[in-house]
Amino acid sequence: MFILHLLNRLQERFGDGISRVDMTSDERLYLYVKPAVLRNVCVFLFDTMSARYAVGIGADDTPYSGKYQVAHNFAFDGKNLFCSVITYVDGTAPEVDSISDRIPAANWSEREFYDLVGVRAAGHPFPKRLILPDGWPDGEHPLRKDVPWNHVPENFHSGREYEFERLPEGCVAVPFGPFHPTLDEPAHFRLYVEGERIAGCEYRGFMAHRGIEKLAESVLTYNEIPMMAERICGICGCVHNVAYAQAVEEAAALSPTKRAEYIRTIMLEVERLHSHLLWVGLACHIAGFDTLFMQSFRIREPVMRIAEKITGNRKTYALCVIGGVRWNLDEDACTGLRRVIDNLEDEWRGVVAAVSKDKNIQRRTRDVGVASPGLVKRMGLLGPVARASGICIDARRDHPYAAYDEVEFDVIVRESCDVWARILVRALEVFESIRIIRQCLSKMPDGPIAAEITDELPSARTGISSVEAPRGEAHHFVITGEDNKPRRWRVRAPTYQNLQGIPYMIKDQTLSDMTLTLGSIDPCFSCTDRVETIDIRSCSHRVYSGRELESLVRRKDK
């Protein structure tokens, strides 16, 4: 058994540096280590044992242990195993050794847990602010337990500007964003351009950071969080809904019902269908092939309509409760879904044939935005980006969840590492989603849609869940808590890792390739930073401030 082999190797190598081991199953290893060996253990897993870096987490554990907690999560994709390396550090001057020089995929995670929790990664190669607004005062860390969820620092400096790095000699700075015709959401790439060649860039994002993790541990309960998790992403809402629920279920040693697992699988694949159809259409649009853009959106529409028929909503399904799902799939919905995917399969074959044979798209996308297999490993790149670079990873197969271990499908892989390969991967994965849905509809058992939970969920338990989103693996980490809410919930969307690869993918490419390369990872930035209301009778509209929205929510007569 691989988990025992790995544990033996770790104990031989680090001995007394390991203070505690939790094996909650054959697929989960929680390794508690002393701070002095944290870096060496992580490098050993990444280099010697060939693990994939998933995410780093910082947590404020001072109310319980007087210390701060740091975890680095690793995946062994061929072994169906996640290993979380956890340490506790001093509560007065929290610091751990950085691993980013050896594991570049940890760069953003280490910067983030300093911003939000205040644990410094000593020796970090680029210890610059990542998450917090430019005007946020130094030394204030909003994910600490003594900071209220609605806290606004008195000394917040609204006029403070982000300080970019020095411009390389011979280059000019070309701003790409924060608002750009090909970006639906705010993100700023400061491109360093020499002639038409991109020599490098610096990224400044997180402009619409919503603080969902703070809300989850402060004011929301376990079964309220899935509704918010669905709104993390405008496309992959069901993914985060399921990933969160599974993380809590693992921590609490709960099993959803079999029928619920099949319903979760079906709706995850419905979501993958409309995401892939959307993205392939947009890819054609960016490349100048608007006919296929319109065809993709036309073919996609019945998928959105059947989602609304099944769930009541085209996009946010309100799917999960802890231990199951909120609603059932009746025979009428199953029949309608079969009809939709049958028609979709026939029509999509024509689109794939047109895309794969179009020489103009190939000329525009071949050898553009190259992500080598080595870059995928170093930066932890995920999903279609990794599979288009010959890396055969897919959480549905490598870390099975829901009903994926009871269906058959192929993992689509291409070798050319470029935008063209990413288009092919996502286009062909549509057929695999159709195949999975058909199997689930034919195999789905009868029975209850949610497990009965009579006892309070235990506290201080840890759970990990990965779900394969259309863009790649979404990874959730939960520590259960008191008062029917988690102590810590960490979300890592696939774009979080894939964005870190963009500076390498665009280096030495032409400026005109930036849009194609960025679009090829299907980036998702947080997009809900205000609300606009429209009166359907008068067509008048109004934008509400945050204070006005809070006042409306708290009104008793609403």
**E strand spans, 238-349:** 320-321, 324-325
Residue by residue, pLDDT tens for the chain (558 residues) are: 999 999 999 999 999 999 999 999 999 999 999 999 999 999 999 999 999 999 999 999 999 999 999 999 999 998 999 999 999 999 999 999 999 999 999 999 999 999 999 999 999 999 999 988 888 999 999 999 999 988 888 888 888 888 889 999 999 999 987 765 555 567 789 999 999 999 999 998 887 777 889 999 999 999 999 999 998 888 888 999 999 999 999 999 999 999 999 999 999 999 999 999 999 998 888 888 888 899 999 999 999 999 999 999 998 899 999 999 999 999 999 999 999 999 999 999 999 999 999 898 999 999 999 999 999 999 999 999 999 999 999 999 999 999 999 999 999 999 999 999 999 999 999 999 999 999 999 999 999 999 999 889 999 999 999 999 999 999 999 999 999 999 999 999 999 999 999 999 999 999 999 989 999 998 876 533 323 333 434 544 454 455 665 565 455 554
Of 217, 258, 254, 225, nearest to 242 by C-alpha is 225
Omega prior to 153 cis, within 30 of 0: no
DSSP letter string, 65-128: HSEEEEEEEEEEGGGTEEEEEEEEE-SSS-EEE--TTT-GGGHHHHHHHHHHH--EEET-SS--
- Report the phi/psi class of residue 446: left, alpha or beta, with left for phi > 0 and alpha for psi in -120 to 50: beta
| DSSP 3-state percent helix, strand, coil across the chain (nearest 5) | 45, 20, 40
Dump pLDDT digits (tens) for 157-193: 888 888 889 999 999 999 987 765 555 567 789 999 9
What CATH architecture is 2-161? Answer: 2-Layer Sandwich (3.30)
- Report the phi/psi class of residue 200: left, alpha or beta, with left for phi > 0 and alpha for psi in -120 to 50: left
- Tell me which H or E stretch contains 31: strand 28-33
pTM over 0.85: yes
Q: What is the DSSP letter of 544?
A: E
- First and final C-alpha spacing in the chain: 58
Q: Which amino acid is at 555?
A: R
Taking each continuous run of H as one helix and of E as one strand, the counts in the chain are 19, 17
Domains of the chain, by residue range, sit at 2-161, 212-443+456-509
Q: What is the mean pLDDT of the chain?
A: 91
Dump pLDDT digits (tens) for 299-338: 999 999 999 999 999 988 999 999 999 999 999 999 999 9
Helices 419-443 and 258-286 meet at what angle, rounded to 10? 150
Fold for domain 212-443+456-509? Cytochrome-c3 Hydrogenase; chain B (1.10.645)
Dump pLDDT digits (tens) for 33-56: 999 999 999 999 999 999 999 999
Q: What tokens does 93 get?
A: 């001057």
**Contact indicator for 476, 490 with CB cutoff of 8 Å:** yes
Contacts of 448 (CB under 8 A, 6+ apart): 257, 259, 260, 324
Of 326, 301, 317, nearest to 239 by C-alpha is 317
Residue 133: predicted pLDDT: 86
Query: What values do phi and psi take at 496, rounded to 5?
Result: -55, -40
Q: How many Å apart are CA 3 and CA 265, to the nearest integer?
A: 27
| DSSP three-state, residue 1 | coil
- Tell me which H or E stretch contains 52: strand 52-61
**How many beta carbons lie within 10 A of that of residue 174, not counting itself?**
14
Residue 534: predicted pLDDT: 35
On the 0-12 / 13-18 / 19+ scale of CB atoms within 10 A, 194 is middle
